[in-house]
Structure 1
Amino acid sequence: MRFGRGHKGHRTLMRGCAAFCLSTIASGGLAQDNFFNSVNVQIPRTSAASSAYSLFGWLNQKIGYGLEAPGVPFSRQDSELTKVETSLFMQFDTAVNDSLQLRFSGKAYRDTIYSLNDNPQFSTDEPNKFRSRFEVKDFFLERQYDNGVYLKVGNQLFAWGLSEYSRVTDLINTEDQFTFGQQDLEDIRLQVPATLLSFQLGDWTLNSVLTYEAGRNDTAPLRDEFDQFLRLRDSGLNLEREQPDNQYEGFLRASTNWARGDLQLIAGEFNDNNLSVERIETIGSIQPRLIYSQNRMRMPGIAGNWVNGAWLMFVELGMHQDKAVRPTAETFFGQSQGWAQKDQVLSAFGLEYNGFRNLLLTIELDNTHSRDHDEFMADQRDQTSFGTRVYWTALNERLELIAVWNNLIDADIEIGRLSVNYNWSDQIALGLLWMNYSS
């Protein structure tokens, strides 16, 4: 959802959402696993002999309202509706043969806010981006070989790592950053074209992933409430983007588990999904041209968890090598050959407690340490964030409540989020989200 972020010190937002689920399945079995932003209908897998295919989906209606006016230079000037979005998700699964499976899923969006609201302040980019769009979600073939090798080729998701708020070792998928802090990390991952090869070696599972043209994080358009480049655009600078020189990215993971926990060893060479300045060109132009691209990086990392009774502890550690770091405002235009590159050590520590009935409590502490820190860097040597999460269910899990508070690691911003979801039936769910941003 997109809501008024603005540039005031305190911003409060609200969303109302009604989700209607339509399901057509070959097997006739239906189970429902709901979360707030979309209602996910899961279908039990059936053998090729009993069902040649399965087809299901859902229709989602979202209505957003910005309680505070962001003001100039954002497009929205008043407290008003920010979204009237209808989306349709469909997923098709079929068995090509006994060992080869095919999945295709996609999501179509239509936001009628641009028809209901004739706000002349909308930038051209906003309706072009959000009025109508279609996303290919999963689109892959998967095969399990008799020798234990598993192969999966196509558009897919990878949920590596354990941190909820920081990308420590979970670096394969890009993110939907059209909104800010209104969804859990697991809900903003975007599928990327990749080949996954997996096999067992004793007690270990080995995974290798190769991606090509995975792209970058999706960011909001010009003058949108979540426009990350607004200050630079508003100053009259020309912002351009170049494709990275190497479009291939590779990742390796070795994972194992024991009675009380799991362990992952991860390594990768990849393009940073966040853009950084590659160079600044001033010759032959009245206004400076900022050329953005994705910096090439490498990462070794480790993640693990341990369970003791009602407690679960998780730790994640990763070295991000050659990370392009943002310079200070005073030295920004002095780095004409691009932002400096530093090695950063990212760490996350978290605890979960589920000793209460229908209640799950989570706390997480994250830190980013920049090696060879200097006075030209905008961020401090150590950046620390803290997050808490409460998940509660009632009425036989038909009612769900999620409360999140997070102090962001890369900005002096605190985010509070409260969402309530009620599963009216197996086909209809209602939800409400309240957001608060303060800085």
Structure 2
Amino acid sequence: MWADDFFSDIDTADVEPAGDSVSKPFGLSGWWQQKAAYSLEDQQRDFSRQQAGWSRLESSLQLQGDYRFSPETNVVLSGRLTHDWSPELHNADNDWFYQMSDSEVRDREWDWRLRDSFLQSKLGSVWIKGGYQTLAWGQLDSIQISDVLSTRDQRWPGQSELEDVRLPVPALKAEFSQADNRLILVGIVAAGSDRMSAAYADFDRMVELRQTGSAIDIDESKGFEWAFQYQRQLENADTRISAAQIYDNTPYPDRIDYALVNGYPVISSVHFKQDRFSMLSVDGSAVSGKWLWKGETGVQTGRKLAADLSAGAQEWLEKDRWLGGIGLERNIKDFTVTAEVNATHIFDYQEELVARQWEYGGMLRLRWNGYHDQLELQSSALWTNGDNGWILRQEGHWNYSNNWTFGLSLISYLAESKRQAFYAYRNSDVVMFDMRFHFP
């Protein structure tokens, strides 16, 4: 649901090793960032946060080292250290910060994460890249059709940095190029699942289940996944055909155990696992005058979809579905307007499904750049596919220099019906300030 995050249009295309010089074989780069977030509204009773107040005070340091063995071979190592000071400030009896659950405190403590780290080399006409790498496929930002390879950080939907939405996975990739044709083969092992919110945090999807006292067991994928993509470059357009057999990055309830309490059955434990499904898609983009058109369509087969267990369904149902969407972009002086609409259709539909047979979504984004590209203002609205609610984001970024960047954002969540997934999180609006220093 939240994986269809339209704040994720980051270009993660591979950069081929430069062949002109190896006089400086080692390079080091990185950034330091300070982020502060203030939650504007009181949360509901099931969450840790019961009041408005500072909810994040996060410091991050990311380093990346690049060593070039030859013009055709290099190794990249990168990692990030993050610490949120909010729990410590609350423990100091500071009323500005709210009480966090033990799970939240552990999640926000010193956290080291391996980022894109790989060895890549050119062997004849083939590029080989192995290690932890971010895999971004597809054209649309408002729905995931072929962009299903990398896991995602879903702790704060709509609040993530562009480079943080997708997470690197252990993969081996081979890329064959000839003239305007390119073939990419990918193998992934033990990618795991999306990174979710801690227990009782603002966007904990299992908060209602936790309130029942049920045990929760999640079995993450340790299996092999594969994918391939064929790309064709035309004069004013490009097209791609993609196929994959992968695990769903969001686990589903595979087994529910019950126990008798005072003669009544109650849920004692829920076992989650990752579903394996197949994907076949076609996407492309084309320039026509001042317009950039992009589209994507595909089918996902054998995918587990949520069923209404309270209405008598015994388990989630395995279904095939079609997904498609179209988008356009237009530059008008310093303004860029981007719009998308999308739709999904479930084959062999059953009434027990939570989703409707036809569901729709879309997004609109307005961006303005000025003062020699030093200032960027952006307003975005995402209507999540399946009518789960809206995410609105207003933001501004000031590139003070080549090293310093400052940003201010307001993220809002809208939902009016209890049927909408965002209804439980509608009081999670937040104002965020971030400051980043790049080096060297």
Question: What TM-score do you get using the length of structure 1 for normalisation?
Answer: 0.85
Shift of 1:238: 2.0
Query: Do the aligned partners of residues 117 and 77 (structure 1) sit closer, same or farther apart at CA in structure 2, a change above 3 Å counting?
Result: same
Matched, 1:208 2:208: no
**Aligned counterparts of 1:115 and 1:200: Cα–Cα separation in 2:** 52
**Aligned counterparts of 2:299 and 2:163: Cα–Cα separation in 1:** 22
1:359-413 deviation digits (Å, cap 9, x = unpaired): 1100000111111111100111111012101121111000011210111114431
Q: How many residues align?
A: 394
Matched, 1:311 2:311: no
1:27-55 deviation digits (Å, cap 9, x = unpaired): xxxxxxxx999xxxx9x968553212110
Out of 240, 243, 252, the residue aligned to residue 276 of structure 1 is 252
Query: Do the aligned partners of residues 365 and 345 (structure 1) sit closer, same or farther apart at CA in structure 2, a change above 3 Å counting?
Result: same
Please tell me whether the aligned partners of residues 299 and 321 of structure 2 are also in contact (alpha carbons under 8 angstroms): yes
**Aligned counterparts of 1:63 and 1:202: Cα–Cα separation in 2:** 48
1:284-325 deviation digits (Å, cap 9, x = unpaired): 996432110100100111001111121011110111111111
Aligned to 2:72: 99
Aligned to 1:80: 53
Larger mean Cα displacement after TM superposition, 358-367 or 94-103: 94-103
Aligned to 2:114: 136
Structure 1 residues not aligned, in runs of 5+: 1-34
Aligned to 2:34: 61
Please tell me whether the aligned partners of residues 48 and 95 of structure 1 are also in contact (alpha carbons under 8 angstroms): no
Please tell me whether the aligned partners of residues 168 and 316 of structure 1 are also in contact (alpha carbons under 8 angstroms): yes
**Aligned counterparts of 2:9 and 2:41: Cα–Cα separation in 1:** 23
Larger mean Cα displacement after TM superposition, 56-65 or 274-283: 274-283
Shift of 1:270: 0.4
Matched, 1:436 2:412: yes
Larger mean Cα displacement after TM superposition, 372-381 or 110-119: 110-119
Q: Which amino acid aligns with 1:239?
A: I
Out of 214, 223, 239, the residue aligned to residue 247 of structure 1 is 223
Please tell me whether the aligned partners of residues 347 and 366 of structure 1 are also in contact (alpha carbons under 8 angstroms): yes
Please tell me whether the aligned partners of residues 90 and 99 of structure 2 are also in contact (alpha carbons under 8 angstroms): no
Query: Do the aligned partners of residues 201 and 225 (structure 1) sit closer, same or farther apart at CA in structure 2, a change above 3 Å counting?
Result: same
SS at match of 2:128: strand
Please tell me whether the aligned partners of residues 215 and 269 of structure 2 are also in contact (alpha carbons under 8 angstroms): yes
SS at match of 1:96: strand
SS at match of 2:148: coil
Matched, 1:256 2:229: no
Shift of 1:221: 0.8
Please tell me whether the aligned partners of residues 233 and 239 of structure 2 are also in contact (alpha carbons under 8 angstroms): yes
1:224-270 deviation digits (Å, cap 9, x = unpaired): 001111122123322211234x6100001000111111100000000
Out of 192, 207, 223, the residue aligned to residue 230 of structure 1 is 207
RMSD: 2.2
Structure 2 residues not aligned, in runs of 5+: 1-7, 92-96, 416-440
**Aligned counterparts of 1:252 and 1:284: Cα–Cα separation in 2:** 49
Aligned to 1:396: 372
Matched, 1:302 2:278: no
SS at match of 1:282: strand
**Aligned counterparts of 1:301 and 1:138: Cα–Cα separation in 2:** 26
Q: Which amino acid aligns with 2:183?
A: L
Shift of 1:139: 0.8
**Aligned counterparts of 2:37 and 2:161: Cα–Cα separation in 1:** 18
Query: Do the aligned partners of residues 171 and 186 (structure 1) sit closer, same or farther apart at CA in structure 2, a change above 3 Å counting?
Result: farther
Question: Aligned residues: percent identity?
Answer: 27
Please tell me whether the aligned partners of residues 164 and 184 of structure 1 are also in contact (alpha carbons under 8 angstroms): no
Please tell me whether the aligned partners of residues 204 and 255 of structure 1 are also in contact (alpha carbons under 8 angstroms): yes
Q: Which amino acid aligns with 2:83?
A: R
Shift of 1:187: 4.3
Shift of 1:90: 0.7
SS at match of 1:228: coil
Shift of 1:201: 4.3
Aligned to 2:130: 153
Query: Do the aligned partners of residues 273 and 302 (structure 1) sit closer, same or farther apart at CA in structure 2, a change above 3 Å counting?
Result: same
Shift of 1:157: 1.2
Aligned to 2:400: 424
1:136-182 deviation digits (Å, cap 9, x = unpaired): 1011000012x311100000112210110211001110101010122
Please tell me whether the aligned partners of residues 51 and 98 of structure 2 are also in contact (alpha carbons under 8 angstroms): no
Query: Do the aligned partners of residues 265 and 74 (structure 1) sit closer, same or farther apart at CA in structure 2, a change above 3 Å counting?
Result: same
Aligned to 1:3: none
